[in-house]
Structure 1
Amino acid sequence: MTDRDDAEGSANAEPGADTEVPGDSEDPNEGEQYHLEVEPGDVADAVLLPGNPERVPKITAFWDDSEEVGHHREYRTVTGTYEGAPISVTSTGIGSPSAAIAVEELARVGADTLLRVGSCGAIQPEMSVGDLVITTGAVRQEGTSAEYVREDYPSSADHEVVSALIAAAERLGYDYHTGITMSADSFYAGQGRPGFEGFEAAGSDRLVDDLREANVANIEMEASAILTLANVYDLRAGAVCTVYANRETGEFRTEGEQRAAETASLAVKLLARMDEIKRERGVDRWHAGLSLE
């Protein structure tokens, strides 16, 4: 049993029993991280962030090699290489609160590039199930990022990550769209769906229509928090999601899950090449005038 298990089980301890938990309660992350159970050196600079831990082996199936370096609660972390480029993946669970924990602890062990990889609901009629949506920015309809920074702070994707994801989708021949993502805190009421026994949240009847009219592309639950925290902490971040449902047409299928995984993995390889080119040219940022070839 670990010290963490002891701490989590202290509520069930005998009255008057002493429980010793090492570390600082304000920042219990010295060395091994409290939730992810990873240490400096365990993860690559670039980390893919799916929600579901079951997606991790589906992602690493595209890699040259991989090794699990941490698994605790919803957080499963694997590190390896993709076409020679170092790469890691950490599942975040559902929603922005747990995704923000992953961002915090990955940054503390040295990660500087984060790519959300997931599924979404499209709200524009031209988007088909199985297509990819590459996020350029996000509507912050989640509460986590507001606990870090004022609500009018933008949630924007890093242009190098967006460029790498687009280049990867083009090279792989996958249909994709770019645009604004809305991140919600709930799957049902927060996305305009009926709750238990038909409950409807205030304004839910107009939510999807209002977003569609504002040219928002898709809805999911983690991107805006990941992007916002990355900008606050001066990290690179982006998101690519496979369309599982189109809220305009009513179509729903769990199709194309691995397209986002393969696209994000290739994007990490392209980002490594971008970084190499920047070093060769002596510049701080990659731009379209610098070839990836």
Structure 2
Amino acid sequence: MPIKNSELILNPDGSIYHLNLKPEHIADTIILVGDQDRVALVSKHFDKIIFETQKREFKTHTGTINGKKISVISTGIGPDNIDIVLNELDALANIDFETRTIKQHLKSLNIIRIGTSGGLQPDIPIDSFVVSESGLDLTGMLHAYQTEPISNQKIEKAFIKHTNWNANKARPIIVDGSKTLLSKFDSVSTIKGLTATANGFYGPQGRILRLPLMDAGLNKKIDSFNFEGVKVTNFEMETSAIYGLSKLLGHHAMSLNAIIANRANGTFSNNPRKTVENLITYTLDRI
């Protein structure tokens, strides 16, 4: 049964609606960055750029490094944008745009996030790299899908109990990243962690400017969570959404986080751009 035009939306030139890409425009290895200006920080390391486009905040450069084809795409901020990017990337890989049907043989992409994040534990140094072994989803976005096959209910129940999680909020979900990619990017230069993903930057991450929080003590409860040695290492807005959708769609995903702030210590990097550039180099050296 062909997918309806209202569900799989294509532009007049045959490209996917938001990303403005055709299947031949992407590589099997895709780097995701939030900031569209960060795309060029990655692609400047390419031997050559063979395709580039931009629509809204979604900017893509595809090129080669040592003969290997790689794409880098900006997602913008937040899990709602990740929902767009991951579903459209999967459509590019696994749906025939001519017949509007799912391909018989499905392709698995390697999806690697290079992002910035704030550390939650006092012993996580500013300008260090956290490799997300798992993602803790606090956003609710994944609940639009059938998540039973990917969640870790044992840790989730412990987290809900420890934080006295408010029943009016979406149930937290914990999703593992790709063990294959973890082995490639984890090293003595990185810290393995459980990365919490929020659906906002201020209140959802416990920041107070003028608005009072529903639970002013939630960050301390998140910081102090410890399940058999597993602690929440850092806070950001994309990782768990990438992990959840990638798992459900059959792709490999890994999130690499440049720690430019430490929430426990109240400190911020003196040169966050340099830290991000160092993480880009680290990532490309291992791809």
Question: What SS does the corresponding residue of 1:53 show, helix, strand or coil?
Answer: coil
Q: In the TM superposition, what is the alpha-carbon distance from 1:267 to its structure 2 partner?
A: 3.1
- Residue in 1 aligned with 2:222? 211
Write the distance in 1 (CA, Å) between the matches of 2:141 and 2:73: 19
Identity within the alignment, %: 28
In the alignment, which of 40, 46, 49 is matched to residue 23 of structure 2?
40
1:265 aligns with 2:265: no
Query: Unaligned 5+ residue runs, structure 1?
Result: 1-22, 269-293
Amino acid at match of 2:179: H
Q: Is 1:176 aligned with 2:159?
A: no
- Structure 2 runs not aligned, ≥5 long: 94-107, 152-173, 226-230
Corresponding residue of 2:92: 109
1:25 is displaced (CA, Å) by 1.4
Does 2:101 match 1:82? no
Take 1:26 and 1:100, find their aligned partners in 2: how far apart are those partners? 14
In the alignment, which residue of structure 2 is the partner of 1:227?
243
Give SS of 1:124's match.
coil
1:28 maps to which residue? 9
For 2:176, the aligned partner's letter is S
CA contact (8 A) 1:191 1:207 kept: no
Question: Is contact 1:33-1:105 (8 Å) kept?
Answer: yes
RMSD between superposed Cα atoms in Å: 1.8
2:54 is matched with: 71
The residue aligned with 2:170 is none
Contact kept in structure 2, 1:130 and 1:244, CA below 8 Å: yes
Higher Cα Rg, which structure = 1
Q: Distance in 2 between matches of 1:165 and 1:123?
A: 21
Partner Cα distance (2:139, 2:129) in 1: 22
Q: Whole-Å Cα distance in 2 between the matches of residues 149 and 189 of structure 1?
A: 27
Give me the TM-score of the superposition, normalised by structure 1.
Answer: 0.76
Q: In the alignment, what sits opposite 2:158?
A: none
**Structure number with higher strand proportion:** 2
Query: Residues 119 and 243 of structure 1 are in contact (CA less than 8 Å); yes or no, is this contact kept in structure 2?
Result: yes
Q: 1:147 aligns with which of 128, 144, 149?
A: 144
Describe the SS at the equivalent of 2:286. helix
C-alpha distance in 1 between matches for 2:192 and 2:113? 14
Aligned letter for 1:261? I
Name the SS of the counterpart of 1:35 in structure 2. coil
Distance 1:33 1:235, change over 3 A: same
2:103 aligns with none
Specify whether residues 122 and 79 from structure 1 end up closer, same or farther in structure 2 by C-alpha distance, changes over 3 A only.
Answer: same
Q: Work out whether residues 25 and 51 of structure 2, in 8 Å CA contact, stay in contact via their aligned partners in 1.
A: no
Superposed CA deviations along residues 249-271 of structure 1, whole A, max 9, x for unmatched, are 11102250112222222332xxx
User: Any runs of at least 4 consecutive aligned residues in structure 1 with deviations exceeding 6 A, and if so which?
Assistant: none
Distance in 1 (CA, whole Å) between partners of 2:82 and 2:37 is 16
In the TM superposition, residue 46 of structure 1 has moved relative to its aligned partner by: 0.7
| Partners of 1:237 and 1:267 in 2: CA distance | 14
Q: Tell me: CA distance 1:71–1:129, structure 2 relative to 1, closer, same or farther (3 Å).
A: same
**Distance in 1 between the 2:116 and 2:146 partners?**
26
- In the TM superposition, residue 148 of structure 1 has moved relative to its aligned partner by 1.7
Structure 1: distance between partners of 2:50 and 2:140: 34
For 1:25, what is the secondary structure of its paired residue?
coil
Amino acid in structure 1 at the alignment position of 2:247: N
**1:190 to partner: Cα distance:** 0.4
Q: Of the candidates 234, 237, 247, which is equivalent to residue 263 of structure 2?
A: 247
Where do 1:192-203 residues align within 5 Å?
192-195=206-209, 197=210, 199-203=211-215
Contact between 1:82 and 1:266, CA under 8 Å: does it hold in 2? Answer: no
What is the DSSP-based 3-state SS (H/G/I as helix, E as strand, rest coil) of the residue aligned with 2:24? coil
Q: Once the 2 structures are TM-superposed, how far is the Cα of residue 62 of structure 1 from its aligned partner?
A: 2.1
Greater displacement, 216-225 / 57-66: 57-66
Cα displacement string for residues 49-102 of structure 1 (whole angstroms, at most 9, x for unaligned residues):
101101000111222222443210010011111233211101000001111211
For these two proteins, the number of residue pairs brought into alignment is 237
**1:29 Cα deviation from its structure 2 partner:** 3.5
